[in-house]
Each structure stands twice: as C-alpha cells, then as structure tokens.
Amino acid sequence: MNNVLGILVSLSIITLMVAIFASLWGIFKKANHPGWAILIPLYNSYVLLNVAGMSGFWLLALLVPYGILPVYALALFRLAGAFRKGFLFGLGLVMLPFIFLPLLAFREEEKWYGAVA
C-alpha cells in the first residue's frame, strides 16, 4: 500500500512540474525569449527575472539562504504586471502556479506587454 501511495505522489509531483515547465516555456516564447531557456538551471531564473522586468542582479539574492522564496514571489507578481494582470492574479501565480502559469502561457488573448514601470 505504501508503495502505491508513493508512486501516486511521485507521479503527481512530476505532472505538476511538467505543467510548470511547459507553461514557463510558453511564457518565455511570448516574451520573445527562447523557450528552451527553462531547461538550463540559473539561466532560466535569469530569463524569468528579465521577463518580469527585474534586473539580473536579483540572481545574487537567489544565492542567499531564504532569499529564493521572496525573490520568486516578487518576480511572479511582476510577471503578472507584465501581462497587465492585477494583484489577485499575481497572488494566484504565487499560491497556485500550476493553475495560473498555464493561463498566461496557453490562452491566446494573453499578451506580454513588458515590464511595468
């Protein structure tokens, strides 16, 4: 029984990760960046920060312990702004990325407008 549960949990996690990777691939393409950038560690973070309108210097904050979550949360809120979405959509990106990232990536009417000043 434990083996079956472990396999189901593992498959669920893998499915969610594939959905997030595919969504970020689509978002990168909408923002005129190569989709394959999601496959390269650290470079994918740099591209995400760039798409969200943040400086590459924010990568340094990702190297600081406990810096990852606040920086990614800020980047996701800024990403929502780059698609002209509001605070609640940004909160959705932070709390439920496996639902809200595909909305940005795969809906035709969603356009990337660039960084919000």
pLDDT of amino acid 56: 87
Predicted pLDDT at 115: 76
- pTM higher than 0.85: yes
Q: Say how far apart CA 48 and CA 8 lie, in whole Å.
A: 30
Both structure tokens of 36: 């394959």
Question: Of 91, 87, 82, which is closest to residue 110 (Cα–Cα)?
Answer: 82
pLDDT along the chain (117 residues), means of 10: 87 94 96 95 94 92 89 96 95 95 94 81
Residue with tokens 């190569």: 34
Token pair listed for 64: 């600081």
How many Å apart are CA 111 and CA 39, to the nearest integer? 23
Give the Cα-Cα-Cα angle 15, 85, 26 (nearest 5 degrees): 40
The phi-psi region of residue 32 (left if phi > 0; otherwise alpha if psi is between -120 and 50; otherwise beta) is left
